[in-house]
Copies of this chain bind each other. A is one copy, B any other.
Amino acid sequence: MSLDQIPRSAYTADHEAFRQTVRRFLQDEIEPNGAKWAEDGIVPKSVWPKAGALGMLCPTVPEEYGGLGLDFGYNAIVDEESAYNGRVATGFSLQSDIVVNYLVSYGSEEQKRTWLPKLVSGEVVTAIAMTEPGTGSDLQGMRTTAKKDGNHYVLNGSKTYITNGQNADLILVCCKTDTAIEPAWKGVSILLVEATREGFRRGRNLDKIGQDEADTSELFFDDVRVPITNCLGEEGKGFIYLMSELPQERLSIAVSAQASAQRAFDDTVAFTRERKAFGKPILDFQNTRFTLADLKTKLQVGWAHLDWALARHLRKELTPEEGAAAKLWHTELQWEVMDKCLQLHGGAGYMNEYAIARAWRGARVTRIFGGTNEIMKELIGRKL
C-alpha cells in the first residue's frame, strides 16, 4: 500500500509528483537512520539541508525570500508521507507548517531577509516556545517576561516541552512585554531569540513516551538581552498572531494523524493476513474483520474530510473552529486506529521492534499538543 492509492481530491498532478520526491527522500535518508536517531533522541542537523535542497522545507515561502512560493498542499504532502513513513517526528513540519508563517506574515523586511532563506535551505532550525512549566493551555498565564532596557529587551523565564529545543538555532519566544495590562493577552509579544545569545540555556532533552527521535526540551532564559528589532511584528500583538496561525498548525496535525493512522491500518491488514492462529489467518476471525472494516470506514471518512479541509484552507476559508475540529477529530481517529491495531498484533504489539508499537507511542501526544483536545472542544463550544 501507499498513500497515492487513496482517491483524493485536494491535490494536483504537481503535488503528486512532489510526493514521489518526498517519498524517495524518506526512504533513502530517513528510514535507514531512524532507529539510530530514535535511540539518540534527536535527528542530526545535517539532515535538514538535504531536505531543504529538495524543496521539502517551508515550500510556501515566497520566491523573493529564497522559497518556492507554493501552496500549503506541498506542506501537507510532506506531512502525509513522513507520517506514513512512520518516522513522524523530524521537526520539519514544525518549521514548515508553523514557525515560518510567523515570519512570513509578521516579520519585518529585515527579519525575512535574514531568516527565511535559511529556514528554506535547512541551514537554520527553529522552534517556537509558548509552553512553560506552569502553563500550557492557558497562554495568557505565561510568566516569561521581556523588560525593555534601552534598545534591548531583557528576557527572563523558562519554557518546556519545546520541539526542536536541542537543535534550534532560532527560537520564537512568547513572553510578556507588559505584565500589568488588562486584558492580559495584550501584554504578549513574540521575540526572535538566537540560540547564541548569552543567558540562553537548553535544559534536558526530555524523556518521552514516544516520538523518540524528536528532541523536546526545556529552555531557560536568564537576563537574555535581545535587540528591540527582534520583536516579531508589533509589541503586544503576540497573542493575536498566535491565534491567527493556529488553524494551520491544527490542520497540519490533522494531516499527519490521518496518514499515520492509515499506515497503522495498512500494516495491520498485512500482519493479520500473515499471522495465523487456530489454523487460519487472524484476519479471518470475524472480530478482526469487523474491527478493521470499522477502521477502514473511518479512514475513508477521514480522507474525505481532510481533502475538504485542505481545499478550504487553500481558499483561505477554513475557520478556526473548523481547524480545531479537524485537529480534534483526526487525532481521536488516529488514536482509535493505533490502539485497535496494536491489539490485533497480540504480544508483538507491545514490542518496540514492531512499527505499530512505536507509532502507537508516538500517536499519544497528538491529543495533547497543538492545544489539547479539551481546548479544541472549548473553542468549538464557545461558538455554538
A residues apposed to B, CB below 8 Å: 7, 9, 131, 134-138, 141, 160-161, 206-210, 269, 273, 276-279, 283, 285-287, 289-290, 292-294, 296-298, 300-302, 304-305, 307-309, 311-312, 317, 322, 325, 328-329, 342-343, 346-347, 349-353, 357, 360-361, 364-365, 367-369, 372-374, 376-382, 384
Q: Complex: how many Å from CA A287 to CA B322?
A: 20
CB-nearest residue of chain B relative to A333? Answer: B301
Q: Please give, as numbers and ranges, the residues of chain B lying within 8 Å of A376 by CB-CB distance.
A: 293, 297
B296 engages A352 (CB within 8 Å): no
Contact of A289 among B292, B364, B382 (CB under 8 A): B382
CA–CA, A369 to B350, complex, Å?
Answer: 10
Contact B301 A329 (CB under 8 A): yes
CB <8 Å contact, A377 and B285: no
Chain B residue at minimal CB-CB distance from A283: B384
A328 → chain B, closest Cβ, in Å?
5
A283, A302, A305 pick with most chain B CB within 10 angstroms: A305
Cα–Cα, bound, A121→B253 (Å): 51
Whether A346 contacts B372 in the complex (CB less than 8 A), given A296-B384, A357-B209, A382-B289, comes out as yes
A273 and B368 alpha carbons, distance in the complex (Å):
19
Q: From the candidates B160, B286, B342, name the one contacting A286 in the complex (CB within 8 A).
A: B286
B209 touching A381, Cβ below 8 Å: no
Contact between chains at A141 and B278 (CB < 8 Å): yes
Question: Which of B138, B328, B364, B379 meets A277, CB within 8 Å?
Answer: B138
- Which of B285, B287, B329, B378 is within 8 Å of A297, CB to CB? B329
How many angstroms from the CA of A134 to the CA of B352 in the assembled complex?
18
| Chain B hits for A287, CB < 8 A | 286-287, 290, 374, 377
Q: Which residues of B contact A349 (CB under 8 A)?
A: 368
- Inter-chain pairs besides A160-B347, A208-B350, A307-B308, 7 sampled, C-beta below 8 Å: A136-B347, A286-B378, A293-B377, A294-B377, A301-B325, A350-B364, A361-B361
Name which residue of chain B comes closest to A317, CB basis: B7
Q: Are A289 and B209 in contact (CB under 8 A)?
A: no
A293 touches B384 (CB 8 A): yes
Evaluate contact between B292 and A207: CB separation under 8 angstroms. Answer: no
With A283-B384, A304-B309 already in contact, the answer to whether A378 and B289 are too (CB < 8 A) is yes
Q: Can you spell out 10 A-B residue pairs with CB atoms less than 8 angstroms apart?
A: A137-B278, A160-B347, A209-B351, A209-B357, A293-B377, A298-B329, A304-B308, A304-B309, A347-B368, A350-B365
Kindly provide the distance from the CB of A109 to the nearest chain B CB, expressed in whole angstroms: 35
Bound form: Cα–Cα A349–B135 in Å:
14
Whether A135 pairs with B297 at a CB distance below 8 angstroms is no
Min CB distance, A291 to chain B, in Å?
A: 9
Q: Are B353 and A207 in contact (CB under 8 A)?
A: yes
In the bound complex, how far is the Cα of B373 from the Cα of A349, in angstroms? 14
Q: Are A296 and B325 in contact (CB under 8 A)?
A: yes
* Residue contact A305 to B301, C-beta cutoff 8 Å: yes
Contact B290 A377 (CB under 8 A): yes
Nearest CB in chain B: distance from A308 CB, A: 4
Bound-complex Cα distance A296 to B308 (A): 16
Query: Does A381 contact B293, Cβ atoms closer than 8 Å?
Result: yes
**A273 partner residues in chain B, CB cutoff 8 A:** 384
